[in-house]
Amino acid sequence: MTSVLLTRLAAYEGDFGGRLFPFWNGERSPLTLRRVSSKLSRQFERIFVAAGCVDLGFHDLRHEATSRLYERTALTDIKIANITGHRDPRQLKRYANLRASDLADSLW
């Protein structure tokens, strides 16, 4: 998470006793985390459908964010993988193409 996001989350109080996700009590067991993830995915799906973006999914947001990290930062592949949670560096190859023009510019 970015420092901006962490600052905003720290300041968040909301109507749920400071919890960002009112349906999660903070338990970190694998089963609970799977359930929370599923609930969050359903919430995003409802938001996307209500916004008229029926073909947009939560994973699309990850793809977009990863693309922006490659386009707008000079972060290394390893740092981007740490941010996005990609475990296999080969998955990031499709995004690395976004820096091809930067590579060409640095050659001359």
Name the least confident of 24-28, 33-37, 79-83, 94-98: 94-98
Band (29; pLDDT cuts 50, 70, 90): very high
Distance CA 96, CA 90 (A): 10
The encoded tokens of residue 26 equal 């903070």
Task: Specify the pLDDT at position 50.
Answer: 92
Task: Specify the pLDDT at position 102.
Answer: 67
What is this structure's pTM? 0.59
Residue 37 half-sphere exposure, CB side, CA atoms within 13 Å? 8
**Residue 46 one-letter amino acid:** R
- DSSP symbol at 21: S
Task: Specify the pLDDT at position 108.
Answer: 65
Mean pLDDT of 8-24: 76
Distance CA 88, CA 23 (A): 31
Contact indicator for 79, 94 with CB cutoff of 8 Å = no
